[in-house]
Amino acid sequence: MTPTTSRSTTAQAAAGGVDACVRALGFSPRGVGEYILDEMTLGIEAAWATFEMPQPLSAELNPLSGARLTGLWKYSTAPREVKRRFDLPLSEIVSQGPWSPEGNALLGEAMAWPLATAGGTTGEWTPPPEAEIPLSDSELIVQCGRFIRHGRLLRGDRDLRIRVPIIDGPAYGLGKARRQWLRALLFDAQNRWRMVRILCDEPHCSVEAEIDLTGAPHGAIGSMMRIGTDVLRGLVSWLIDSVDLLADNAVPLAAPDICPVRKHLPLTERKNK
């Protein structure tokens, strides 16, 4: 982070009352725009708050799944570690006014959302009625050149998600090298794109992108959906050509066999894939 960015981050956090808000939630400062609460760290940069927690490695862990994750929590991967990460967009929430216990309570509710869902549950939370969800069918259509993907809103009794297919149907019979290239690409995309959780269903490599708003304060759902659908469009546009190429066995590719990506996969993948 450059000094200019640091000053900007500090000024924005102070102006929006973010610093006072996170301290009220129990976080302690440990640097410019950085906080800690037990094992959870929080970084404030520009218009985002990023929460992270360590994730123990295990043979059963699949970082491309939503297992044991709720809200915007997802797995962030590196070759020798996996973390859980929650990226919260702040701009529209902070624009409603500085936080105070009597003022912009929505900021406090939004910043408490990652804490409430860190354990994978949401307590008594329920989604708003479907008629009050500000998302039209046309906003769920993602078009990228020749590709058209129809997303869907999934509203259950205790959950609320937007999901868009990236591979339009299962990809059967992919060789080991192609599968590893595909998973390495999906890990990279999940690390790069905020808010998005990528789901890859083995063994058929069915791939979807998901924004999980389960547990979100109702007053923030509209802005989260606007930002989340924009992020999904950007992700699909960035990813879909490469994914389509890797998932099509009819297209001959020598690169996956010549240049294996095994060392770039998380440690659990290298042991078990």
**pLDDT tens, position by position, 27-73:** 999 988 999 999 999 999 878 999 999 998 887 888 998 888 999 99
Using the Cα atoms of residue 166, residue 170, residue 173 and residue 179 in order, give the sign of their dihedral.
Answer: positive
Best CA proximity match to 17, nearest among 75, 92, 103: 103
**Could you give the CA distance from residue 200 to residue 195 in angstroms, rounded to a whole number?**
17
Joined together, the tokens standing for residue 248 give 């099509």
> What's the number of domains the chain is made of?
1
- Structural domain including 127 reads 3-272
**CB neighbours of residue 2 within 10 Å:** 7
Joined together, the tokens standing for residue 260 give 């294996």
Q: Are 225 and 92 in contact (CB under 8 A)?
A: no
Joined together, the tokens standing for residue 30 give 């440990």
186-235 residue pLDDT tens = 999 999 999 999 998 776 678 999 999 999 999 999 999 999 999 999 99
Give residue 54's Cα distance to chain centre. Answer: 16
Which amino acid makes up residue 3? Answer: P
Give residue 141's Cα distance to chain centre. Answer: 19
> What single-letter DSSP state applies at residue 128?
P
**Could you give the CA distance from residue 139 to residue 152 in angstroms, rounded to a whole number?**
10
pLDDT, position 115: 96
